[in-house]
Amino acid sequence: MSSDLVAEARRLADEGDMAGSAAVLARLASDPSTIGAWPAADRVQGRLRTEDGAAPWARRTVRLALLASHTSGQLASALRVAALAHGIALDVYEAPYHAYEQEIADPTSGTYTFRPDVVLLAVDQREARLPDISADPDEDVRREVARWRSHWGLLRSRTAALVLQTSFVPAPYDALGDVALRTPGSRRRLLRRVNDELAVAGTAGTYVVDAEAVAAEVGADAWFEPRYWHAAKQNVGPGAVPFLAGRVLDVLAAALGLGRKVLVLDLDNTLWGGVVGEDGLGGIVLGNGPAGEAFAEFQTYLASLRRRGLLLAVCSKNNPADARLPFEKHPEMRLRLDDIVAFEASWDTKPEGLRRIAKQLDVALDALVLVDDNPAEREIVRQLLPQVGVVDLPEQPSGYVRAVASFPGLQSVGLTADDGRRTELYHARREAAELESRAATREGFLESLDMTARIEPLDEVNLPRVVQLIAKTNQLNLTGRRHRSAEVLELAGRPGAVVWGLRVADRFDDHGLVGVLVAVPEGEDLRIDTFVLSCRVLGRTAERALLDALRTWAVAQGRTRILAELVPTDRNAPARPILPEAGFRPTDPPPGGEQSSQWWELVVDEQGIGSPFVAWTGPDEMAGGGRPDAAARDDEEDIHG
């Protein structure tokens, strides 16, 4: 099967179909057990570039510097293949063997010359400077954590790249045996403490990849291959390398905002056994017996993903009433209708249903992952909607959890308060849409929402959400810039700059922080560096309220105009009317400005932008950016509509 996929990808590449070839390789890359085909897949993906090195099929091109404590050729190759599962074209710089510390310390090293977007520190437990038995465990752990954090800090200060580091996997054979578990100073316990503290020690932009979990998944024999270590200084066994590469790319994709957002679930023989339309409510298999328990466990796992922020939708060939019946009546159902943000039950094809779900949720097709037990349905979706992720479920429901858990793109690098409420927020959007459909006029609908909003300056509480919004927002994003935490803080620290968050609520729900605006002074102008808005509030005039707030601020600061840049992409068409509708006019690029961008200006002493139902008050009291501090929350101002 895997060799067939490589052959198909090679054929498409020969025909010049880069996007088709990449889609086939992405399917192979979604399954690390196909390791035998990965070297050939790497060779094919190397052909999917134009003469100038561009990858027009890719969602993102990323430059990764691989700094390893061991030979890393196989890992570099596997990383390039694993990246395909996320639509990433990965350029890899491989540092010399065991030279990671020299590369970090030397500002002229190949790592810095490469100008990476991300640095991966792939280090094994031999590199941890910890004794076999410590007389002072707390001090040894503190010192080791500080050493690695120092490396991270130097890399971040010189590159602004994301920094990923694999966690330490304790050696399988410990002279202390099980005594190590109850000896506070044992190396095994020290390593795990270091892993735990490193995982929580980093700020946004530094992430620990759980290599110990990968080793547990593949097994000690596959992870530790002493013959490869002694013969070639290869720390990770060949059979485990694709699993590690997949984990690394999962974390990286999540950090870049490229993770999937919606699990689209089939029903019959996916959430329960049997066909509810034929077997009836009492005839489906759920909750009792081995298969029934497996289906129930799968639903429980899906519910946990929902609480983590993934959205759940249903796409089933079924009568609508039959499809909803188990959610409403079956006592063993772990999922309820309130857990589902879009429910498509009809006799249309799966691609048609998936398109409707994407439109209803206002997300791109590449945000969706289909979970369906039927191989024929999976194949037609792969053929007609290659952007949609497709999970290959095994025949037995006992393997469903593992199949979904290991699918690329479902990783998260952090949790915010909004993540846990995402399903409720989408339900609120649906209720608002129903209200709009009944309203006589657009103005009447907006007035009936009783909208309130609040602009707040950057602080230590909202920083993670601000960075998350910038990373994940594609449609209502003027420039597509993906500032990370350190870059946001640097912009906020510039004199006269503003970094604002926008919170919106209405009669249905509090939508939380849904917008970010970053503006920096340039001469007499105030230039918008970043403007992103969640699609949750699309069409609510919140964008005009935020821009009018900036206009008022600019007047108070003695600025003559606001300058804005629009970088058209294939995904931000909804953002293009924002500036002209707010009164901005086309203008020439400023000195040093990107010539290919569209530039817009607003003369600030002219008429205000205005928003019919959301108005900003107190601009002279707003904090103008600044780094987060404990007092920042006191500077928030309310907007009432």
pLDDT given for residue 431 in this prediction: 53
- In this predicted structure, the answer to whether residue 111 has a pLDDT above a threshold of 80 is yes
In a domain, residue 429? The reply is: no
In a domain, residue 589? The reply is: yes
Q: Nearest-CA neighbor of 476 among 543, 430, 418?
A: 543
Last residue of a domain, one of 213, 234, 255: 255
pLDDT given for residue 575 in this prediction: 83
Counting every residue written for the chain, the total comes to 641
Looking up residue 372, the CATH number of its domain turns out to be 3.40.50.1000
**Which of 21-25, 276-280, 504-508 is predicted most confidently?**
21-25
Average pLDDT of the residues in 62-83: 95
In a domain, residue 417? The reply is: no
- In this predicted structure, the answer to whether residue 421 has a pLDDT above a threshold of 80 is no
Average pLDDT of the residues in 53-78: 93
What six digits make up the tokens of 316? 């089933």
- List of E strands, 350-497: 368-372, 389-392, 452-457
Give the 3-state secondary structure of residue 196: helix
Residue 613 banded pLDDT, cuts 50, 70, 90: very low
247 and 286 fall within a common domain: no
pLDDT given for residue 435 in this prediction: 47
In a domain, residue 246? The reply is: yes
Report the C-alpha gap between 486 and 161 in whole angstroms.
Answer: 10
- Percent of residues, the chain, with pLDDT higher than 90: 51
- In this predicted structure, the answer to whether residue 324 has a pLDDT above a threshold of 70 is yes
Q: 460 versus 636: which is more confidently predicted?
A: 460
| pLDDT tens digits along 243-255 | 999 999 999 998 8
Report the C-alpha gap between 519 and 341 in whole angstroms.
Answer: 35
pLDDT given for residue 212 in this prediction: 93
> For strand 368-372 and strand 262-265, is the pairing parallel, antiparallel, or unpaired?
parallel
295 and 207 fall within a common domain: no
Q: What is the 3-state secondary structure (H, E, C) of 352-388?
A: HHHHHHHHHHCCCHHHEEEEECCHHHHHHHHHHCCCC
pLDDT given for residue 305 in this prediction: 92
Looking up residue 167, the CATH number of its domain turns out to be 3.40.50.1110
Residues spanned by the domain of 329: 262-405
- In this predicted structure, the answer to whether residue 616 has a pLDDT above a threshold of 90 is no
Q: Which of 139-143, 188-192, 362-366, 535-539 has the lowest mean pLDDT?
A: 535-539
Average pLDDT of the residues in 590-617: 70
What six digits make up the tokens of 343? 């429910």
530 and 634 fall within a common domain: yes
In a domain, residue 413? The reply is: no
Residue 202 banded pLDDT, cuts 50, 70, 90: low
- In this predicted structure, the answer to whether residue 427 has a pLDDT above a threshold of 80 is no
Last residue of a domain, one of 222, 237, 255: 255
DSSP state of 567: -
Average pLDDT of the residues in 77-101: 95
Residue 609 banded pLDDT, cuts 50, 70, 90: low
In a domain, residue 576? The reply is: yes
In a domain, residue 91? The reply is: yes
232 and 148 fall within a common domain: yes
pLDDT given for residue 179 in this prediction: 79
Average pLDDT of the residues in 334-349: 92
364 and 473 fall within a common domain: no
Buried b / exposed e over 62-100, threshold 16 CB at 10 Å, is: bbbbbbbbbbbebbbbbbbbbbbbbbbbbbbbbbeebbb
How many domains does one find in the chain? 4
Q: 94 versus 505: which is more confidently predicted?
A: 94
52 and 62 fall within a common domain: no
Q: Which amino acid does the sequence have at 42?
A: D
pLDDT given for residue 630 in this prediction: 32
225 and 267 fall within a common domain: no
Last residue of a domain, one of 346, 381, 405: 405
Phi then psi dihedrals of residue 525, to 5 deg: -95, 165
- CB distance 602 to 582 below 8 Å: yes
Report the C-alpha gap between 50 and 48 in whole angstroms.
Answer: 7
Looking up residue 491, the CATH number of its domain turns out to be 3.40.630.30
In a domain, residue 581? The reply is: yes
Q: Which of 161-175, 313-327, 570-584 has the lowest mean pLDDT?
A: 570-584
What six digits make up the tokens of 551? 């206009």
pLDDT given for residue 582 in this prediction: 85
- In this predicted structure, the answer to whether residue 425 has a pLDDT above a threshold of 80 is no
Q: What is the 3-state secondary structure (H, E, C) of 9-50?
A: HHHHHHCCCHHHHHHHHHHHHCCHHHHHHHHHHHHHHCCCCC
Q: Nearest-CA neighbor of 26 among 305, 258, 270, 355?
A: 258
Residue 534 banded pLDDT, cuts 50, 70, 90: confident
Report the C-alpha gap between 388 and 321 in whole angstroms.
Answer: 27
483 and 380 fall within a common domain: no
Give the 3-state secondary structure of residue 311: strand
- CB distance 518 to 477 below 8 Å: no
313 and 370 fall within a common domain: yes
324 and 364 fall within a common domain: yes
635 and 503 fall within a common domain: yes
- In this predicted structure, the answer to whether residue 625 has a pLDDT above a threshold of 70 is no
Report the C-alpha gap between 337 and 96 in whole angstroms.
Answer: 54
pLDDT given for residue 632 in this prediction: 33
- In this predicted structure, the answer to whether residue 56 has a pLDDT above a threshold of 80 is yes
Give the 3-state secondary structure of residue 88: strand
489 and 601 fall within a common domain: yes
Locus of tokens 């609040």: 454
